[in-house]
Amino acid sequence: MRKYGLNRWNWSSKAQKWVYVTKKNNKRVYKYQIEPPEEFIALTNQLKDLNHKLMEVKDHEENKKLFRELMELSKKMQAMREP
């Protein structure tokens, strides 16, 4: 049995849908949707903006800072994948 993270969006490649899992009365409750959740869209837009900044920045320290931010956003997105 697959375990999705609670109280967050997860992608199910088997169902080809987004799944939001909560717990109610000690049972898992699943909510499905086809469209990407707002959280995923916001992360995608932030990644796009950071990537543009990263390509334009000349300062090495600023480049490192932006790259670290990019990696953090990427980790958040990866956490939304299937377990």
pTM recorded for the entire structure: 0.76
Sequence ranges of the domains in the chain: 1-35, 36-77
- The tokens describing 24, both together, are 């109610």
Asked whether the beta carbons of 19 and 31 are under 8 A apart, the reply is yes
For residue 19, report the phi and psi dihedrals to the nearest 5 degrees.
Answer: -125, 130
The pLDDT value recorded for residue 1 is 47
The distance of Cα 69 from the centroid of its chain, to the nearest Å, equals 14
Question: In this structure, which amino acid lies at residue 38?
Answer: E
- The tokens describing 20, both together, are 């939001």
Question: In this structure, which amino acid lies at residue 16?
Answer: Q
The percent of residues above 90 in pLDDT, for the chain, comes to: 77
